[in-house]
Structures are given as C-alpha cells and as structure tokens.
Structure 1
C-alpha cells in the first residue's frame, strides 16, 4: 500500500524554489570562498547545477529541477567538467519516456535511497505547539557562529563556514537558532520567494539532539513564512523506508507536512 496520499498534486514549483535558494546561496557566498574551492553554479530554466567539490553533501554537488533532455545535456556537460562527486536528482514517477531513455543512454545508476519532497500550507492558524525549546533569529554579528555550527552539523570542513554565514540577514533568507537557555544549540534557515518558501540547514549539536530543537526550528520557520505571506513551504528529507527510522521525516509529518514525491539520486 502507498503510505502517502494519492491526491497531493505534483508541481515543478517544489523543485523550483529549492533551486532558487541554492542559486541565491551561490550568489551570496561565491566572493567569500577562496577560488581554490571551485564553487560554481548555473541556472537552467527554473533548475540549476551546482558544484562545491569539497562539500560532502549531495545538495551542493548536483543537477536539480532540470527534466528536459536538451536542458540536461547542458547541465551534464557543465557538471562533467567539475571535480568531486556529482549527482542528478529526478522525480522518476513524473519522468517522461524521453527522460528515462536519456538516463539509460548515459548509463547513470541510482545512488542511495533518494530524497522525499514534502510540502505544508503556511497558514499560522493551523500550527501545532512548538514545544519547550526556545528559538530566535540569528543576529548579523552571529553570522560566523551560524556558519560554523552549520559546518559542524553537516560535517563540512571548517573553512567552508562562510558559505552559510553569507545568508544571515540576506534578503530572502531567515536564519534561526534553537537555544539552551541563551546558548545556540541548533540551526535552521528559510528562503522565501513569491508564494513559496524552502527550509534547509537544520542541524543540532550532538549533546542536544532528540530534545525538540528541530521541531522548535520548524515551528519558528513556519511562523516566519506565515508572517511573510507565503502560501506553501517545502522541505526535503531522505526518503523514508520500513528498514530505517527517519526522525526528520517523522518530525515534519507531525508539523503538518505531507509527502509530494520522491526524487531519485543518480551518480554522474
């Protein structure tokens, strides 16, 4: 049985806002990272290709939101000249036969469990309780701390902290700390454009995990989205499976997010 509701519409908008967030992240950080990091990104008809070879995350080394073979040819050629691991993310349930043939012709193979895309109405009136953990926005003078915490949480090299500190107080972005008293113990970010917002950057220091920090950060960003007047908020997690507990996915479901579709990861 399909565990997800069959009446949830699929839309390129969910990928488009995510791609726009990463394009803006690139624009914010490209001058702050040294040239040897080879940070690069291109926009392709509502999607993007992004490369930061020393970042271990798929999210910074992938083709996203590109589903037409001629656009994929452009993205694939661009990505082929980049170092490090490189990936293509595709919603295969919505893929055309032409797109499937393109993937087969390139000899691409699926990698890992894929990602689940979730969406929630941004209405603040239907928000569940936030829990006991307090949150607040990151101040401009805390940008370096925010960046360092993000790197630590995602296992990035410390000298990539400027990647994340660059979005603090930047137009379109809202950055939050979860607090233990007055001490930051978790991070979360939101990028908003038009009627959509995207959530990312959710990390918690190891000693404070499983104590409600991420639930509080999700709540804070949902409230912020409602204040900014967006209609839909989207986010991704690893695709859930019966074999592996997915705490992030469960937390988001409790906060009212519903499954839209899964994206397969193909290694290039």
Structure 2
C-alpha cells in the first residue's frame, strides 16, 4: 500500500512505537531477562528487540529501518547480525512504505535471503480532535492500573493474547513507569481486558490490547481506546497511533480490532511489511 501520509508523520508514528517497545524491553525484570533471554539494542535510529522465551514476531523484530535517515548496507547488515545472534529465527525486519532509501532497501533485504511474509501491519493515526461516545455502549468499567495491581494487568494481557504465563512479569513492568498508562476493563471486580498507552514528545502509541475470550464483543476495547484518547489529550498528546494485523483485501469489515480503531476516529495511514528469512 502506498503511504498517503507525509514522511514526517510516518516518522513520528514509527518513532513513538519504537520507543514504546524499547522501553518495555528496558523495563523487563531481571529474573525474566535471565530466564527468557530478553535483549535489545539501539543502532542509531534502528532498534532491535529479542525474546527467546516468546518466539513470536511482536517480541522479536527490528524497528526504524530508514525512518529518520536512509539506511546503508553496512547498517542493515549490523542489524541483521544482531538479530541472528539474539532473536528467535522467526524475527522480522519491519519496513514502512516511506523507508529510505526507497526501493533499494527492500532490494537489499531480499538479496539477504528475506521475503515479504503475510499481509503486514495496518498502522493507524488519529489527531487529538474531540472524542465521541462510542456506538457500542458497554457495562464494563475502565480503570487506571496502579502499581499494586500491576500483576493483574500483566495477567489479563497474557491470557488475552494466549501467551505463556511466564510473560506476566514482563507485561506488568510498564505499570507506574514514566510515559506509560495502563488500563483494565472490569466486569464488576473481574478484570477482563487490558490496554496500554506510551506517550513521548506529545505523541502516543496505543497497544497491548487484549481481551479474555469470554468477554470479546462486549465493547471492552472500544471503552479502553476511548479512555486512553481522553487521557492522552488531557496530557497534551497531539497524535495517536496504533496497529493491528492487516486483514486480507475486502475483509477489513470482519476484523474486530481493525474496526475498533476505525470507529474511534483513527485512519489507516499505511501498511508496514514484515520481512523474514526464507525457510
């Protein structure tokens, strides 16, 4: 998909997400780092994160290729070398449409044995305009997570994503951390859904959106999105971003996560592709 956003807005979208994931890795508890082999690196504008204990793309990928400046082949090789040493073999190099140098970057990546896999990630953008009431009301109660309830946040996110229980301390570590706000949606006193927001330089990334299977379709994520928008605007955020898997062409209307962000006033800015090693 051709990027209809300016290079500047694309860069801001990519940067705030990059910094959120880097900070999540930095915050990982020492015991989790040791047991799951969490590692991270910053190579100029490029950031790599790795987690051998959770062998999925979200926890093993490269951010920022060609975003703040054009990448050269030496820098690309350095990033790939680091990932080969630290990450699970299923790691991804993520490339936005405006990554520089245009055309050459993807050619270099493919020449090194990578191929474009899947439909990519739909990256969403929203400015700080008025937040409207959602079309799907909910009886669930959204609350800011305090440090004494951090594990509750991690447990809901882990269960909602279907990740191993060992990841709970990792996801819990953002609660109470500077730049982060974490929320839980409750059914009475039962925590049923989670969502987080990372804010930096008046931009915010919304992520870690997870709902327990029995509570899906009850408006939890819509309520969590609304609360984060209101909180972010109050804190001075001028631009919000989030992402979800890009559905197959023509099937966007059937994807709940995709629709949740559209209904909340987000626009799909572009699709970011995943490049993985063949075989």
- The normalised TM-score by structure 2 is 0.88
Match of 1:87 among 87, 92, 108: 92
| Number of the residue aligned with 2:17 | 18
- The correspondence for 1:156, drawn from 155, 163, 176, is 163
CA contact (8 A) 2:185 2:192 kept: yes
1:112 is paired with a residue whose SS is strand
Taking the aligned partners of 1:247 and 1:197, their CA distance within structure 2 comes to: 22
Q: Which moved more, 1:186-195 or 1:88-97?
A: 88-97
Partner residue, 2:150: 143
Per mean C-alpha deviation after superposition, the further-off stretch among 33-42 and 15-24 is 33-42
Partner of 1:173: 180
Moved more, 27-36 or 194-203: 27-36
Q: Distance in 2 between matches of 1:56 and 1:216?
A: 30
State the distance in 2 between where 1:15 and 1:246 align. Answer: 23
**Rounded Cα–Cα distance in structure 1 between residues aligned with 2:46 and 2:184:** 29
Structure 2 residue runs without a partner (length 5+): none
Matched position secondary structure for 1:81? helix
Confirm or deny: 8 A CA contact 1:32 1:163 kept in the other structure: no
Give the counterpart of 1:262 among 267, 271, 276. Answer: 271
Q: Is 1:114 the counterpart of 2:120 in the alignment?
A: yes
The equivalences for 1:1-268 within 5 A come to 8-10=5-7, 11-67=10-66, 68-69=71-72, 70-84=74-88, 85-92=90-97, 94=99, 96-123=102-129, 126-130=130-134, 131-132=137-138, 133-241=140-248, 242-243=250-251, 245-268=254-277
Query: 1:187-230 CA distances to partner (integer Å, 9 max, x unpaired)?
Result: 00000011211011111111110010000000010011111101
Extract unaligned runs of 5+ from structure 1: none
- State the SS of the aligned residue for 1:128: coil
Indicate conservation of the 8 Å contact 1:56/1:155, yes or no.
Answer: no
Q: Is the 8 A contact 1:45 1:66 kept in 2?
A: no
Q: How many residues align?
A: 263
Q: Which moved more, 1:199-208 or 1:147-156?
A: 147-156
Contact 1:20 1:47 in 2 (8 A): no
**CA apart distance, 1:247:** 1.1
Partner-residue secondary structure (3-state), 2:86: coil
TM-score normalised according to structure 1 size: 0.92
